Structures are given as structure tokens and as C-alpha cells.
Amino acid sequence: MDVKRAVKQRYGQIARGSATKQQEQQAEAVAATIGYSQNELSALPEGANLGLGCGNPLAMAEIQPGDTVLDLGSGGGLDCFLAAQRVGPSGRVIGVDMTEEMVAKARSNAAQGNYANVEFRLGEIEHLPIEDSSVDLVISNCVLNLVPDKAQAFREIARVLKPGGRVMVSDILRRGELPAALLDDLDTYVACVGGAIEADEYLSLMRAAGLTEVEIISETDAADLLAGSCDCGCEISETGISIDDLRGKIVSAAVRARK
């Protein structure tokens, strides 16, 4: 599977597209379901919420004024813009995304919202364009499951964090065996399901990278979330597997760690 090419193609199309009113409403509904408040969503530049997350990593991130925050797979910039409000003018937020169209969209959104303390960089999570020991907090929202080399991604996270720096990510994890048809299907990988790994393996990879205090602090069954998203649900249905077949086997988890 040429995973990276497929991911870039899929999310590039999303970034280039003009959302219909129905798609905007769906994105708002998904964001509300995974923990974003209406006040947060209404404060965003138009087009920042693409309805692609599986949680709200900022809800438990304990961001401090003056922090440098790094968002992995920043998309349209939703979490970056919310983080920017919390770090304040003395802080800094950096979004990294490997899709050129997403970076362009996020930069446009930042200009639209006058976010002077936010910047977006083109790059891969396995090879972050970020200096060593320069980040206080790493966040990510339903993106690390898309990375083929997760061990390298976690090593990069550890590299860029300052000593004592924190990690707070939302991601899709497995809690059981998935049907082989899903694991072998490129579309379901790109839809954040096929690339999900077992929760215990995920935590072990984080520890092996040098991260400590690694723990899952909350998790919910992700089947209903996927069912509510046409981007994910439709791809799964094309394999002949129903959402019900995934209940209890995939979760949306909030994972915390420290360097």
C-alpha cells in the first residue's frame, strides 16, 4: 500500500473542496460530539473545522500562557487556533502537515483570523521540521493512526519536546482483531481505521521512544463516531463490513505522556 500518497491525495481533495452547507453542519456535529463547545467553534475562522477529529486533545492538555505548542497533522488549523488563544501573545503554536493544500488552507485561515502567534509548516511527522527540545506540548487529533512508522513518529515527538514537555493526543486505537478486509483496504486505512494499532502496542511504542507517564486517560467506542462521518463510514461500508462489526474493537482514546 502506498499509504502516504493515498493520505495526501485524500486530504488534499478535502482541503481544495468547497464545503456545502450540509457538510459544514456535519463537521459541526462531529466536533460537538467529540468535545468541542459551541463557543470554541464559533470563535474559529471559517473553514478551520473540517470535521476530521476523533476527540478534543486540548480539553485535557493544561496549556499554559507562554507555551510553545506543536500540532501534528494540523489540517485546517482548528486545534492550532484554539491553542493560540490559550498560550497568549507570549506563546507560540506550530502546525505541521504533510499535505500542501492543507498547509495553504491553514495559512489562509490564520491570515483571516489574524493569528500572529500561529505558523504552519509543511513536513512529515516521522521527520518533523522542528528544532530539538523546543516544544512544551505536542498535540494531535486522529492523525498518528495514519502514520506508517509510528515508532519513528514517537521518537520525533520525544526529540522535539523540552525536558518535562507534555504529550496530549486523541487517536483511534484497536481493542481487538479487525476483519482482514479492513486491514488490507487502502481506503479504510486513509479513513483512520486500517492503520490503527492495538492500544498496548501504541503505549509501548511511546515508552520505547523515551516518553514517560504514558497512559490512556479516557476512551470511547469509536463505531458511532465513524458511523456519523460519511468520510469514514462510507469507506468502511464499501468493504462489505458494517459499523456494528467494529463495536468494541476500535476506540477513540485520549493519551497522555511526558518527556
CATH code (residue 186): 3.40.50.150
Strand partners, 115: none
For the stretch 176-233, pLDDT in tens is 887 776 766 666 766 677 788 999 999 999 999 999 999 999 999 887 776 655 454 4
Residue 41 belongs to domain spanning:
3-258
Q: How far apart are CA 108 and CA 103, in angstroms?
A: 9
Neighbours of 55 (CB within 10 A): 28
Residue 175 pLDDT > 60: yes
Strand partners, 109: none
Strand partners, 137: 69, 166
Helix (H) or strand (E) holding 168: strand 161-174
pTM for this structure?
0.91
Domain tally, the chain: 1
For the stretch 10-50, pLDDT in tens is 888 888 876 666 666 777 777 777 878 888 888 888 888 88
